[in-house]
Amino acid sequence: MVDLNALSAANAKRWANAKLSRKAEAASVAVRLYRAKQRYQAVERHTGVPWPAIAVIHERESSQQWNASLAQGDPWNAVSVHVPAGRGPFDSWEAAAVDALVKCPPFLARHKDWTIAGALTALETYNGIGYAVRGVPSPYLWSGTNQYRAGKYVRDGVYDPSKVDPQLGCAALLMALMELDPDICFAGTKIAKGSASSDPARPSLTNPSKGSIGAFVVSLIKAIFGRK
DSSP state of 110: G
pLDDT at 228: 41
pTM (global) more than 0.85: no
User: 145-198: per-residue pLDDT in tens?
Assistant: 999 999 999 988 899 999 999 999 999 999 999 899 988 986 644 444 433 333
Instruction: For residues 109 and 75, give the distance between their C-alpha atoms in angstroms, rounded to a whole number.
Output: 22
pLDDT at 188: 46
Domain spans in the chain, listed from the N-terminal domain onward: 4-170
What whole-number percentage of the chain has pLDDT above 90? 77
pLDDT at 157: 86
User: 1-49: per-residue pLDDT in tens?
Assistant: 789 999 999 999 999 999 999 999 999 999 999 999 999 999 999 999 9
Residue range 105-125: mean pLDDT, rounded: 95
pLDDT at 81: 97
Q: Nearest to residue 119, comparing CAs of 189, 71, 65, 59? A: 189
Q: What phi, psi does 154 have (nearest 5°)?
A: -85, -20
Instruction: For residues 25 and 30, give the distance between their C-alpha atoms in angstroms, rounded to a whole number.
Output: 9
Residue range 60-72: mean pLDDT, rounded: 97
pLDDT at 50: 95
User: Which run of H or E residues covers position 222?
Assistant: helix 213-225
pLDDT at 170: 98
Instruction: For residues 204 and 190, give the distance between their C-alpha atoms in angstroms, rounded to a whole number.
Output: 13
Helix (H, G, I), strand (E, B) or coil at 208: coil
Under a CB-based contact definition with an 8 Å cutoff, are residues 54 and 70 in contact? yes
